[in-house]
Structure 1
Amino acid sequence: MNSELKNEEFVLSTRPSDQNEIKSAWKLQPCPMPTITNDNEFILKTLFVSVDPYLSSGLKKSALGGDTNPIGSVQISGLVGRVIESKNSKIPVDTIVTGIMEWKRYILANGTEPLFRIVQKSTEKNTIYDKIGFSTVIGVLGMPSQTAYYGILSVANTQPSDVLVISGAAGAVGTIAGQIAKKIKGAQKVIGIAGG
């Protein structure tokens, strides 16, 4: 690996008291470059991180006394990365992966991280992601879409005669839920509530 590479991480530096202070909650700081020590490990370079509304719950001290995200801890969420070094025969260099991992520029992984999956193998070319981009893995084709899809199809069991009201219709899940209800399930009417 290139010895010129420098690693950085986002750590929780303070607990914001209101929404206006949220951008100062994290601090970007240098950290050591990862080193592969086992045959199943690989190093990936972060391409995109998912900054979802649920992350704000980790900024608050737990009402139960526990600390869900202690001050000084590295933020975690869904991300997309490209493998730059590997000793894992199933995950070679240039493979694109996703999973729940730490917000670091370079990450040591082994494929057992929560929600880990291979997005595009190093040998695959001209896939849908070459056209729409890898950011969609944690965006429109990621967790928000899956939540909307299963919510409308499995939980709500939407039928063509239904009139659906979607609260949070301007959010990541709500916008997709409305489209699925109307375009895929053919709901009679979809009403979206946004901004109050």
Structure 2
Amino acid sequence: MTMEAEAGDRVRITLGRGLFVCVVGPSGAGKDTLIDHARRRLAGEGDRFVFPRRLVTRAASTAEDHDVLSEEAFGAGVAGGAFSLYWRAHGLGYALPRSVEAALADGAVVVSNISRAQVAAARAAFARIAVVSVTAPDAVIAGRLAARGRESAETITARLARGKAVMPDRAPDLTIVNDGSVEAAGEKLVAFLRGALRD
């Protein structure tokens, strides 16, 4: 069941049997890489696990898996209640499609990379959520950000500092230190998601 929110509200209130898994952490921690690993590992398990593509007002790139949304379409979607969850960060608009609500209503485990600052909003939006925090040492994160080629060294330093200032609203359900192989860290996420489905 979905309770309608007023146009322009930050979230739409959703009641469902499923679980929304917020994957959070600083840029460069490897969130999307681990989500992609889990998506591939769980692909043969039907629609029990759903990995919605984020809508972002940034051009497509190999560094981030998302669907491109114009600023105009983002604003119209917010005003028209087209998103299950939306936020702005680093000058960009981010949103999740309304299909998230249907998947949760069907009892799926829905997994998405969201801003750490939006965890409280997700708690308000969805009946059941879990938080997976992905982190890595500063040197590892800085190296990954530099490899993307989108930011200067000064910007990366400032981003690392900002990341430390963002505090979660409560302790995460799982913390993954992603400083080794993708397989090692990715399997921790896979195990957590399978366990969440059984809960």
TM-score normalised by the chain length of structure 2: 0.23
Kindly indicate which of the two structures has a greater share of residues assigned to helix: 2
Kindly indicate which of the two structures has a greater share of residues assigned to strand: 1
Answer with 1 or 2: which has the greater Rg. Answer: 1
Q: Which has the higher contact order (CA 8 A, sep 6+)?
A: 2
